[in-house]
Structure formats: C-alpha cells, structure tokens
Structure 1
Amino acid sequence: MNKEITESNKKILLIVLIAGCFLSTLNQTLLNVALSNLMDVFHVTAATVQWLSTGFMLVNGVLVPITAFLMKRFTTRQLFISSMFFLFIGSVFCACAMNFGMLLTGRMIQAIGAGIIIPLMMTVILYLYPSEKRGSVMGKIGFAIIFAPAIAPTLSGFIIEYVSWRWLFIGLVPFLLIVIVLAFKYLMNVAETTKTRLDIASVILSTIGFGCILFGFSKAGSKGWDNPVVITNIIVGIIVTTLFCLRQMKSNDPLLNLSVFKYKIFTLTSFINILITMIMYADLILLPIFLQNGRGFTAFEAGLLLLPGAVINAFLSPVTGRMYDKYGAKPLFITGLLFIIISMWGVIDLTESTTYLYLMIRTVILRIGLSFISMPLNTAGLNALPRELGSHGSAVNNTIRQLAGAIGTAVVITLYTVQTTSHASELSMENENIPTMQLAKLASIFGSSDAYLLMLVLSFVTLIFACFMPKKTAIQKNVIKKQ
C-alpha cells in the first residue's frame, strides 16, 4: 500500500469515527432538557425519570473498564459497527416506546453502544498517528465531542416545544444508518486481535464497584449524603473497586492495566482530568438550575444561553490541538485555567439583576478556557504511554471521567441544596412578609453563588497541578526514551 492511499484511508477512517462519536455524544446529552416533559408524558416522578440519565451513565460506566479487553479481542470494524447497531436498535426502541419501561430499555441499549466509542477512537489514533501529530487529530475529534453537547440543549428544547419528544430518537435513526453503511464500506482494522481470555471475576468486581460508586453519587444530590442507600452504595463501591484494583495489579493479563499510573505525566493529567471534569459537569447542571429556578427562564432559553460558548469551544478545539503539537501541554493548561478562574470569579456574587448577556459572555469565557484543556489533556496523558498500553490508558481516562462527573455533580447539587435551604431560612427570619416565590428565587440565587465559590477553589487547585506539568522538550525526551 503506498503512502498516499494510506493517508487517504486514515482520513476516511477518521471521518467515519468522528461521525459515530458525534451521534453517540449527541444522543447522550439530548434528553437532559426533555426530562420534565417526559415526566408528564409517562406520568412518572422526577426520581423515576432521572433513571433515563442515571441508567445510561451506569451502563456506560460499567462498560468502560472492559473496553481494553474488547479492543484486544475484536477488530476495529467489529467493535465500531456493533456499537452503532446498539445505538440504532436503542433509538428505534425509544422512538416506539409505549411506556416508560420500554423507553428506559431502549436507553440502556443505546448506552451499550455509546460506552465504547470514545475509548475505541482514542486507541485508533494512538495506532495511526505519531505523538507529534496527535494533538491536531485529537483537536478535530474534540470538535465532534464538544459540538454535540453544545447544540443538544437548544435542539432538544426546540423539538420538545415545537414537535414531539419521539423526534429526539427518530431524528438519529437515518444518520446512524448512514454511518453504519459508511463503516461497512470504508472502515478498516488498525490493530491485530489476540485470543485473550476474559477475566470474569474482574468484570464482576468492576461492574459492582464502579456501578455502586456511580449510583451512590448520582443519588446523593437528590436523596442527601445521610441516606442509607447512598452511604451503602458508596461504601460497597469503594470496597469492591479496591478489590478490583488489587486483582488487576496481581494479574499477568489484567482487564484494566493500572501500570499506566507508573508514568508520571499520565498520573498528573489524570488528576487534572478529575478536577476539570468535576468543574465542567457541575457548571452544566448548575447554570440551568440558576437560570430556571433563580431567574425564571425556560429550558429553551437556558439552552440558547449555553449555545454560543459551546460552539466557540468546538471550533477552537482543532486550533488548540495544533497549538498543543507546537507548544506542548503546560502553556495551554495554564492559559485555559486562567480563563476558567475568571469565569468562576464572575459568578460567585449572582443577583436578581445579573443579566442574560453577562451570563452568556461569562459562559463563552469558560468554554474558551475548556477548549485549551479538554483534548490536549487526553493527548498529553496518552502520549506519555507506550503504544501497547494505549487502550488501557484510554479506558482508565474514560472511567475517571465517568466517576469524576458523577461525584462533581453530586457534590455541587448537595452544596447548592444545603445552602439554598439555609438562605431561605435566613431570609424568612429577616423578612417574614417576603412572598414565597420571591423567597425561593433569592435562596436559589444565593445557593448558586455558594456552589460557584467551591468551583472557583477547585479551579485554583487545578492550576497548581498544571504548574507541575513538564515543558514540551522534557516530554519529547520522555517519548523518545519510551519508544
């Protein structure tokens, strides 16, 4: 195969993978705005409807640790086409759902497909591209990963308001079919498969461990930290996950190779990944709460406010990818975190008169900061590993992201709830004649400000970690030595 054909095949492969990743990420975030509408449609409570998000996250989370095994055992074509079929079948199930149980089943089937796409794509890039070109390629992928959730709230709000919730799934079906056809025609395999044995005990331990932790933290925000279900799940999850980790360290062929943490740069980027994911997920849930509860905006208006920042983030991703290849991770991380700190500083003193435009500009600043970090962070971590550990590094990265997202969301919702209750009590004592609606709005505004103060502190902590990142020359020497 000559070089030109190889390069054109790489481009086709990348386009097909990015299209699949875009649809997977879009599907994952489309329902966030639609939950209250689905409560009315299926006559279920908030706690029940939340399973459409929680269940998706749980299936996704427990699947991620076994992706490294799947990538060794099956070909790129088999895994990608299978994941697209799961997304397709799940979408059809959801579109035809006659009751909530059927909708939830379809959502779980979708999650099986979505769980493997991003780890698979990261591993393919490690095989196809040398370390000095991965930044720009990851930047292009970042466009798909970021642009999908960018348009999801607005698109979902529009569909719910003007069409029918079923079109959230019907609309995905033809695009999924197109990607499946393209994959059959153009997708090639990038790595050899091996007849590796699946460690069933490790699968059981990881499923119970990660599943319980994710479930416990996802319920902490609504039920409270002192709820027996929350405490039991988190404790069981931590114990079982510890047993899983000990088993991986002793195994000759681990399900999830934890030796990736022997590489200092990977470990450092993992810490930064945890903190950035917590900040990002917390903001995604806290800002709509403030806009709707504190200011009385509709879900569609809240989605529109998030749109400009997220679109800018998506379009900046390829640019920051090229900057990573040129300058390395450290200057990008520090620049990004300065933007994030400014954006958090701007919302620690929210009031009734904080304007829609001000919040939109602040969200644009936050998203510019995230664009300097998100994909360069993945690239820097995976570049620190030898190629044979790439799939394990990708699986570890995604497991960390799932856990950090659940923990960040739970902590912020709990802080917001506690502080809102406290402020409501103080305000009612100070002014007994204050109307109930006004009291609820003010308490929500003050509670949001307190939660953003925590996120500002986390941003400063992340900046400290980023300062320990080595310069580009030191990383290059490390890559040469590793190879």
Structure 2
Amino acid sequence: MSDHAPSVSTASERVPGKLIGAIVAVGSLAFIGILTETVMTVLFPQLMGEFHVDTATVQWITTIYLLAVAATMPVSSFLKRRFRLKRLFLAAVALAIVGSLIMIVATAFPMLIVARVIQGIGSGIATPLMVNIILEQSPRSKIGRLMGVGSLVITVAPAIGPTVGGAVTSVLPWRAIFVAAVPLVCVAAVIGVMCIEQKAPTEDAYLDPIQLVLIVLALVGMILALNQSGVAVGALVSGRSAMRSGVIAVASLVIGVGSLVAFCLATRKAFSPLLRLGILRDPVVLLHWVEYMILPIVGIGFGYVITNVAQLSLGTDAFLAGALVLPGALVGAVCSPLGGWFYDRFGAVKPILIPLAIAALGPLLLCVFALRLTPALLAGFYFIFGFFYALGNPNVMTSALSQIPREFTPDGNAIFNTGLQFGGAAGTALFSTILSMSQAHAVAVGFGEGTPEFAHATAVGGMWTFGVMTLICVIGWACLAVAFRIRADRARKSVPGGGSRMAA
C-alpha cells in the first residue's frame, strides 16, 4: 500500500481540466463587466458631450456599477449555500446579456445607469462564485496559483479596456463594444455548462431581508455621501449654490453609517447572519481586509485618472489615452499567476510585502512629476504600480482566508469581495471629486475644456490625486506589516489563530 501512496498523492494534487474551464467561464463574466467599465472610463469626455452631463455625473457609470457589485457581494455566501453553482452561473449570464442589450439601445443617460446596475449584479454573482469554486474544488497546494489564474481572468479586462475603448470608438460607435460582448457571454455560457461541477450539497439557507436592506443602504449611502460631498465642494469653488448636494451628502452619510451600525447589531443577534462578521474580530484578518478594501481605491481609480489626465491635461486622443494604461495593466495581469506561485512556494510575507512596497513608487513618482508629465512618463510610472500591485495584492485575500476555518470561507470571500468593490466605488468617486474640484475654479473664471488653463487645472488635480494614492498605498502596506507581525508572534508563542472561535 505504501508503494502507491506517492502516486495517489500526486493524483489528488492534479488540477482537473474541468476546474480550469469553470474558472475561465465564470471569470469571463466578471471580465466582461470590468471590461465594459474600463471601456467607459476612457469614453467619459465623449459621453459628457453626447449626454450633456458633467464630470461628477458621468463617473456614476462606473460608480453605480461598482455599487451594484458591492451590494450583491454580501448575498454571495447565501447564494452559494442555497443554489447550485450552475444555476447561479446561468443567472449571471442572463443579467450580463440583458445589461449589454440595454446599453446598445440606450438613448438617455438614465438608461446607461440602469444597464450598469444590471451588469453589476451579474458580476456581483460571478466574481465570488469563481473564488468559491477555486477554494472549494482546488488542491490545497495549488490554491495560490489558481487564485492567480482567477485574478488573471479578471485583471486582463482593465489592461485592455481603455485601449479597446479608444480603438473601437476611433472607427465605430461606442455601442459596438456591447454588441461584441453578447456573443462573448454566450461562449462563456457554453463553457460553463460543460465544465461547472457541483461538489458540495446545497443547504436550506435563509436570507434575512432586513439584513439585506441594511447592508445595501449602508453601501449606497456612504458612497453617495462621498460623491455628493465632492459635488458640493465643486459647486462652492465655482461660486454656485451647494445647498442641495450638501443636504444630500449629510443625509446619505447618516443613513449609510446608521444602516451599517444596525446591520452589525442585527448580525450579532441573528441565528443565520447574512455575513459572519465575527471573522473580523481576529486583528490579522481585519488588517488584511482593510488593505484589501483600500488598495483597490488606487488600483481601480488609476484607470479613470490616467485616461482623463491624458486627454484633458496632456491633450491626447481617446485611443492614446487608453493605450497608456495597457503596458502596466497587461503585464500586471499576466503576472498574477506568478504571484500566486510565489505565494505557494515562499508563503505570504515576502511575496506580498515586497511587491506592494515597490508598487507605491508608481503614484509617488506621478505626484512628483505631475506638472511635467508626458504620455511616456504617465505610462512608465503606472507600469511600476501595475506590475507590482498585480504581483502582490491578489495574494492578500488568499493569505487572510488561510486564517479562517474552511466552513466559513464563503463568508470570508463575501466580506473581502464586498470590501474590494466598495473600495473601488469609493475610489472612483473620490478621484473624480478631486479632479472636478481642481477643474471647477478654471471653469468658474471662464476657461473651459481645451484651454491651457483648464489643462493646468487638471494637472494640479492629478498631482493631488496621485498624492492621495501614495498615502493609501503606505497605509495599506502598514496594515499588512502589522498583521504579519501579529501572526509571527502567535507562531512563536504556539497560540492557534482561533478562527472557529472568532467566526461564531
């Protein structure tokens, strides 16, 4: 019997082809959603003219998508327990197709918003579904690499999105992007139906509608408060009344924070909570989560900031603005599995802390050279961030979930992905606010888009934006450094992490 043990072990560690197919199929839905999101960011100046909206308004195309994803993420743990994987996948497919069809026929800005909500819900189902499949069905020694493959499927979209947007709109109407998305979704559907397998039985799980309403109100309220605060500040800078937006900001903040507090209290007393927030009582998990929430503020925000600074400050066209994002985002996306391999080979500490420390140099250099940027410098400094961010950050959730008992992994997955999407939505709102504030003064004194004064104002806004990005990177890195120090102290004292105790 012992002679056959190594071969049995090797077979158990082999990655099935159907698992790879399932990851690609489910990840493709998130890929298409993020692709269309980043495509739209490079088209903001064009959409502002076509639909007669300002910068603070047009960014809602991205923000509302991320909010819809974030509001769906908390339900993912319930959905995974209650419904079969293939049924969830097909629901996400249907939402992606419907959203794309609405984008194709949209004639008014509110129709774009409705379409992005529908697409966001589809992506909110697909992304945690892919992660749950990896964590549940992959060999333990291959989790880092397969999480890297999952990250590759998703992160290629931001890499090619701006370039696709610029290239397509230079020869075709922007709606052609969504015409092409429909057959891609259909191909993913065929692969998913063939490859997705149900390994764990479903449960008779219960969804508390009160908890669901509370978490949605919390997410929407806090993002809306940030957005409307920016609108109010921009209005004050330009000499307009800020009363309406200021009242909305305060009311949204009160509703958002109040709903979050109520949700936390409700889940503590519930027999079957929507999210088991108890896993965040462990400071190691909590610090990982904080980093995983705030770093995407920079990662997702870069796609918006670079394309708009390139067009409105440096005077590039949409195609070149999108192409500037491509080198850093694409090489980072391709290297995500490499980061997962480093994690499997060397553990969590060095494969996470070293790349993220180097990644912070990207926004720092952009801040220093903000008023003297050229397209080449913009692309080069972003390359530094994009490569090392993709090398280290996908491992953060893997590292945190390793501290959580396996039965609570769906809850950890939902909490981390909710934080990621919330951070992305907050980042888009934050950075568009900073740029709008800087541009508002130039507009107020009569210098509109296309003037040297407006371009300089955008460059100044970019400088402040890159400075905030650098600060966020430093805070995120510090959180992880403290988390790893706590984990090391526990190991030295031989004290277990106590995940099952904390998740109760």
Normalising by structure 2, report the TM-score. Answer: 0.85
Q: 1:339 corresponds to which residue?
A: 358
Q: Kindly indicate whether the alpha-carbon contact (under 8 Å) linking 1:265 and 1:380 is maintained by their aligned counterparts in 2.
A: no
- The residue type equivalent to 1:442 in the other structure is H
- The residue type equivalent to 2:426 in the other structure is I
Q: 1:446 corresponds to which residue?
A: 460
Q: 1:181 corresponds to which residue?
A: 190
Q: Choose which of 369, 386, 405 in structure 2 pairs with 1:367.
A: 386
Counterpart CA distance in 2 for 1:358 and 1:135 is: 33
Q: 2:396 corresponds to which residue?
A: 377
Moved more, 71-80 or 22-31: 22-31
Counterpart CA distance in 2 for 1:231 and 1:168 is: 38
Instruction: State the Cα distance separating 1:170 from its structure 2 match.
Output: 0.4
- The residue type equivalent to 1:468 in the other structure is V
Q: 1:396 corresponds to which residue?
A: 415
Counterpart CA distance in 1 for 2:162 and 2:271 is: 45
Q: Kindly indicate whether the alpha-carbon contact (under 8 Å) linking 2:128 and 2:414 is maintained by their aligned counterparts in 1.
A: yes
Distance 1:122 1:31, change over 3 A: same
Q: Choose which of 2, 7, 30 in structure 2 pairs with 1:21.
A: 30
Distance 1:27 1:411, change over 3 A: closer
Distance 1:409 1:172, change over 3 A: closer
Distance 1:70 1:379, change over 3 A: same
Counterpart CA distance in 2 for 1:187 and 1:166 is: 31
Q: 1:409 corresponds to which residue?
A: 428
Instruction: State the Cα distance separating 1:190 from its structure 2 match.
Output: 2.9
Counterpart CA distance in 1 for 2:33 and 2:332 is: 19
Counterpart CA distance in 1 for 2:67 and 2:178 is: 20
Partner SS state of residue 314, structure 1:
helix
Distance 1:56 1:376, change over 3 A: same
Moved more, 10-19 or 314-323: 10-19
**1:378-403 CA deviation, whole Å, 9 max, x = no partner?**
21122221121111111111221222
Distance 1:313 1:77, change over 3 A: same
Distance 1:438 1:76, change over 3 A: same
Instruction: State the Cα distance separating 1:353 from its structure 2 match.
Output: 4.1
Listed as ranges, the matches of 1:52-201 within 5 Å are 52-201=61-210
Instruction: State the Cα distance separating 1:408 from its structure 2 match.
Output: 3.1
Q: Choose which of 330, 341, 351 in structure 1 pairs with 2:349.
A: 330
Instruction: State the Cα distance separating 1:345 from its structure 2 match.
Output: 2.5
Counterpart CA distance in 1 for 2:61 and 2:439 is: 26
Listed as ranges, the matches of 1:261-340 within 5 Å are 261-340=280-359
Q: 1:231 corresponds to which residue?
A: 250
- The residue type equivalent to 2:325 in the other structure is L
Q: Kindly indicate whether the alpha-carbon contact (under 8 Å) linking 1:25 and 1:149 is maintained by their aligned counterparts in 2.
A: yes
Q: Does 1:457 align with 2:471?
A: yes
Partner SS state of residue 470, structure 1:
helix
Instruction: State the Cα distance separating 1:268 from its structure 2 match.
Output: 1.8
Instruction: State the Cα distance separating 1:27 from its structure 2 match.
Output: 3.0
Moved more, 163-172 or 437-446: 437-446
**1:137-177 CA deviation, whole Å, 9 max, x = no partner?**
11111111111111001101111221112211100111111
Instruction: State the Cα distance separating 1:31 from its structure 2 match.
Output: 1.7
- The residue type equivalent to 2:458 in the other structure is S
Counterpart CA distance in 1 for 2:497 and 2:463 is: 47
Instruction: State the Cα distance separating 1:40 from its structure 2 match.
Output: 4.1
Counterpart CA distance in 2 for 1:205 and 1:163 is: 43
Counterpart CA distance in 2 for 1:351 and 1:209 is: 35
Instruction: State the Cα distance separating 1:99 from its structure 2 match.
Output: 4.3
Q: 1:387 corresponds to which residue?
A: 406
Distance 1:192 1:480, change over 3 A: farther
Moved more, 149-158 or 15-24: 15-24
Identity among equivalent positions (%) equals 25
Distance 1:445 1:11, change over 3 A: closer
Moved more, 28-37 or 361-370: 28-37
Q: Kindly indicate whether the alpha-carbon contact (under 8 Å) linking 1:344 and 1:453 is maintained by their aligned counterparts in 2.
A: yes
Moved more, 353-362 or 63-72: 353-362
Counterpart CA distance in 1 for 2:425 and 2:183 is: 31
Distance 1:478 1:381, change over 3 A: farther
**1:198-251 CA deviation, whole Å, 9 max, x = no partner?**
211111211222221122223333343972112211221011111011101111
Counterpart CA distance in 1 for 2:109 and 2:460 is: 36
> Aligned pairs, how many?
476
Q: Kindly indicate whether the alpha-carbon contact (under 8 Å) linking 1:256 and 1:395 is maintained by their aligned counterparts in 2.
A: yes
Q: Does 1:247 align with 2:266?
A: yes
Instruction: State the Cα distance separating 1:415 from its structure 2 match.
Output: 4.1
- The residue type equivalent to 2:456 in the other structure is L
Q: 1:256 corresponds to which residue?
A: 275
**1:247-300 CA deviation, whole Å, 9 max, x = no partner?**
011111101110121333321211211231222233333323322222212222
Distance 1:292 1:393, change over 3 A: same
Q: 1:431 corresponds to which residue?
A: none
CA RMSD of aligned residues (A): 3.1
- The residue type equivalent to 2:454 in the other structure is A
Q: 1:207 corresponds to which residue?
A: 216
Q: Kindly indicate whether the alpha-carbon contact (under 8 Å) linking 2:368 and 2:463 is maintained by their aligned counterparts in 1.
A: yes
Q: Kindly indicate whether the alpha-carbon contact (under 8 Å) linking 1:20 and 1:117 is maintained by their aligned counterparts in 2.
A: yes
Distance 1:423 1:103, change over 3 A: closer
Instruction: State the Cα distance separating 1:329 from its structure 2 match.
Output: 2.0
Q: Which ranges of structure 1 fall in alignment gaps of 5 or more residues?
A: 429-435
Partner SS state of residue 296, structure 1:
coil
Q: Kindly indicate whether the alpha-carbon contact (under 8 Å) linking 2:279 and 2:412 is maintained by their aligned counterparts in 1.
A: yes
Distance 1:376 1:123, change over 3 A: same
Listed as ranges, the matches of 1:427-446 within 5 Å are 437-446=451-460
Partner SS state of residue 321, structure 1:
helix
Moved more, 91-100 or 323-332: 91-100
Q: Kindly indicate whether the alpha-carbon contact (under 8 Å) linking 1:350 and 1:446 is maintained by their aligned counterparts in 2.
A: no
Distance 1:369 1:237, change over 3 A: same
Q: 1:433 corresponds to which residue?
A: none
Q: 2:6 corresponds to which residue?
A: none
- The residue type equivalent to 2:356 in the other structure is L
Instruction: State the Cα distance separating 1:48 from its structure 2 match.
Output: 5.3
Q: Which ranges of structure 2 fall in alignment gaps of 5 or more residues?
A: 1-10, 235-241
